[in-house]
Structure 1
Amino acid sequence: MVRGLYTAWTGMANEQKRLDIISNNLANAATVGYKQDNVTTQSFDDVLTIKIKDASELYHERPIGKMNLGVKLGEVYTNFEQGSLRETGNTFDIALEGKGFFQVAVANNNGNEQIFYTRDGSFTMTHEGNIVDMNGNRLIGEGGNISVPVDASDIVIDRDGSVYADGVLVDKILITDFEDYNYLKKYGENMYSMVEGGTQIPAEASVHQGFTEQSNVNVVSEMVNMIAITRAYEANQKVIQTVDSTLDQAVNSVGKV
């Protein structure tokens, strides 16, 4: 019976983690460039149970079967599928169609910059002419941080990422892809850093000026999953309540006999 309590608890803990991930997906359903997270579930390895110190068996130990200790969380992974493109008409809003990531320079508290990767193309231009994201992180081009003349009246970004100011080529947006996305670590909601062992490859994505890529979260599907998780959580709760009631009977009623 005590094992039943443990098994039900592992189920509740697993469903709680799944619910946390789905809640975060729903909270970022409108976040530009957000990629949906998911989690796999697996059972603990079966263990062999053995009867010991049983007088009816002449105190010989013998196997009596397999026992499973419940469920555990598997791998939390990110779904990198393409999100829909939404037209904004803003000059510095750019979206990627196909595989690839923008590079942005993010400064830490010490002022040192680190390169992160994102699909969030909501950029703007500062008073100095730098192209930055909503947090002020600079967009990286082949020549470094991309900067355009502040007095330019016509900014055009081609499908290959080339940036023109009044017909003059200023820079080309650096777009990067990776051989294996398992080497990307999520940073915040829609940024990623490459961990040791990752390999960069040329990107095949095309650039669309005046568009942004929306989140790839399917709200209806996530709501359905949330309902299923809630029911599974409640089922495990009832198991614990039932086992607790049985233990109460065993201690307070049977023990009196």
Structure 2
Amino acid sequence: MFKGVYTAASGMISAERVQEMLSHNLANAQTPGYKQDRTAIRAFPEMLMQRIQAQQGTGLSGGSARGMGTVGAGRSLTPIGTLHTGVYAQEGVPQFSQGPIQETGRTLDVAIIDQSLPANPETGRQGQLFFAVQVGDDGEIRYTRNGQFAIDAEGYLVTPEGYYVLDEALNPIYTGNDLFVVTEDGHILLDPQVLATGPAGVNPEPRLWLGYTEQPHHLVREGHGLWRWAGAAGEADEPFAEPQLIDAVPFLNAAQNGGNVTFRVQQGFIEQSNVDVSQTMTQMLMQYRLYEANQRVLQTYDRSMELAANQIGKLY
């Protein structure tokens, strides 16, 4: 069997997996707050190919003329060269760069606009901000960048899937209607009529929960634009093991920054997907060509094996 068959086959498999990831990105090019995945194709370790041959002469029990040790009586190994054993596609890595901000004029649309957020000194990657939502009745919390909200039948602010949007006390936000104002620091100013006729105990000025983490790579993607915090082993007591409230992060505290807020919340705007459609389609075409090239290599091997079986071994 030609060893290069496996190398070409691994190239086809890798190209197919990258193509699937790019297709998923392209399908979410219009999904608000979506963060694209990227991957890299890496090579498996190379193998050193050697040929076993009979030793010439005597006195070579300690090694051959090429410096290779013996592998048996009267035999030694001669290097032929290296063989590339193929490639593989790494898992997709989310890219948390901010997507374009689009004005919608819709009161229920809210966008987080990052402004000079500090980078993690260890990784060099910029931290990220997220809204918090409650998933299900058990109180599980998920994070999202999709600020395209709605109001449910009971008057609570929810995501398009019906998950409660949470305030900084991690409670659902009651707005009653869409006649509210969101300030740049995330406070929600409710309609006076809602305060007068709404249920008892309504917070007159709730604030959107805005979480920050220096380690967004510890977030696991879930459906509907949600992220689950996975963390890492041994990080339960680390200061950024969970996304933090803005006020709890010292270097983002407005007082310590001379009143300069490094982020703002913009009502009537939405953060679009950070997928570049033109670039993604170009990458898809490149992967198609890569798949096609490896396919031609396999076809060449197939013709070579056919020739070996039908011609070289033919008896006249």
Q: Is the 8 A contact 1:179 1:199 kept in 2?
A: no
The separation in 1 between residues aligned to 2:178 and 2:304, in whole angstroms, is 78
Q: Is the 8 A contact 1:49 1:64 kept in 2?
A: yes
Residue 20 and residue 223 in structure 1: after superposition, are their counterparts in 2 closer, same or farther (change >3 A)?
A: same
Q: Give the number of the structure whose residues are more often strand, by fraction.
A: 1
1:65 — aligned with what? 81
What is the CA-CA distance between 1:215 and the residue it aligns to?
Answer: 0.5
The separation in 1 between residues aligned to 2:282 and 2:163, in whole angstroms, is 37
1:116 — aligned with what? 142
The separation in 1 between residues aligned to 2:97 and 2:47, in whole angstroms, is 39
What is the TM-score of this pair, normalised by structure 1?
0.91
2:265 — aligned with what? 207
The separation in 1 between residues aligned to 2:150 and 2:37, in whole angstroms, is 28
Q: Is the 8 A contact 1:130 1:147 kept in 2?
A: yes
The separation in 1 between residues aligned to 2:224 and 2:78, in whole angstroms, is 53
Q: Is the 8 A contact 2:147 2:270 kept in 1?
A: yes
Residue 149 and residue 96 in structure 1: after superposition, are their counterparts in 2 closer, same or farther (change >3 A)?
A: closer
Q: Is the 8 A contact 1:130 1:145 kept in 2?
A: no
Residue 144 and residue 181 in structure 1: after superposition, are their counterparts in 2 closer, same or farther (change >3 A)?
A: closer
RMSD between superposed Cα atoms in Å: 1.9
What is the CA-CA distance between 1:13 and the residue it aligns to?
Answer: 0.4
Q: Does 1:178 align with 2:213?
A: yes
Equivalences for 1:1-257 in 2 at 5 Å? 2-52=2-52, 54-55=53-54, 58-98=74-114, 99-107=128-136, 111-150=137-176, 154-166=179-191, 169-197=204-232, 198-203=241-246, 204-257=262-315
Which runs of 5 or more residues in structure 1 are unaligned? none
The separation in 1 between residues aligned to 2:163 and 2:283, in whole angstroms, is 35
Q: Is the 8 A contact 1:119 1:190 kept in 2?
A: yes
The separation in 2 between residues aligned to 1:119 and 1:8, in whole angstroms, is 40
What is the CA-CA distance between 1:68 and the residue it aligns to?
Answer: 1.6
Runs of 4+ in 1 over 6 A off after TM superposition: none
Percent identical pairs in the alignment equals: 35
Q: Is the 8 A contact 2:186 2:265 kept in 1?
A: yes
Residue 63 and residue 4 in structure 1: after superposition, are their counterparts in 2 closer, same or farther (change >3 A)?
A: same
The separation in 2 between residues aligned to 1:252 and 1:121, in whole angstroms, is 66
The separation in 2 between residues aligned to 1:39 and 1:149, in whole angstroms, is 41
Q: Which secondary structure does the structure 1 equivalent of 2:18 belong to?
A: helix
> Is the radius of gyration larger for structure 1 or structure 2?
2
Q: Is the 8 A contact 1:34 1:189 kept in 2?
A: no
Q: Is the 8 A contact 1:179 1:201 kept in 2?
A: no
Residue 256 and residue 56 in structure 1: after superposition, are their counterparts in 2 closer, same or farther (change >3 A)?
A: farther
Q: Which moved more, 1:194-203 or 1:244-253?
A: 194-203
The separation in 1 between residues aligned to 2:110 and 2:209, in whole angstroms, is 13
Q: Which secondary structure does the structure 2 equivalent of 1:170 belong to?
A: coil
Which runs of 5 or more residues in structure 2 are unaligned? 57-73, 115-127, 196-203, 233-240, 247-261
The separation in 2 between residues aligned to 1:91 and 1:18, in whole angstroms, is 38
Query: What CA deviation, in whole Å up to 9, does each residue of 1:91-150 have, x standing for no partner?
Result: 11111101410001111xxx4231111100011112322100000000010233333352
Residue 144 and residue 233 in structure 1: after superposition, are their counterparts in 2 closer, same or farther (change >3 A)?
A: same
Q: Which moved more, 1:204-213 or 1:24-33?
A: 204-213
Q: Is the 8 A contact 2:33 2:273 kept in 1?
A: yes
Residue 189 and residue 148 in structure 1: after superposition, are their counterparts in 2 closer, same or farther (change >3 A)?
A: closer
What is the CA-CA distance between 1:243 and the residue it aligns to?
Answer: 0.4
Letter of the aligned partner of 2:79 in structure 1?
P
The separation in 1 between residues aligned to 2:286 and 2:146, in whole angstroms, is 31
Q: Is the 8 A contact 1:41 1:75 kept in 2?
A: no
Residue 3 and residue 142 in structure 1: after superposition, are their counterparts in 2 closer, same or farther (change >3 A)?
A: same
The separation in 2 between residues aligned to 1:148 and 1:4, in whole angstroms, is 63
Letter of the aligned partner of 2:152 in structure 1?
T
The separation in 2 between residues aligned to 1:236 and 1:134, in whole angstroms, is 43
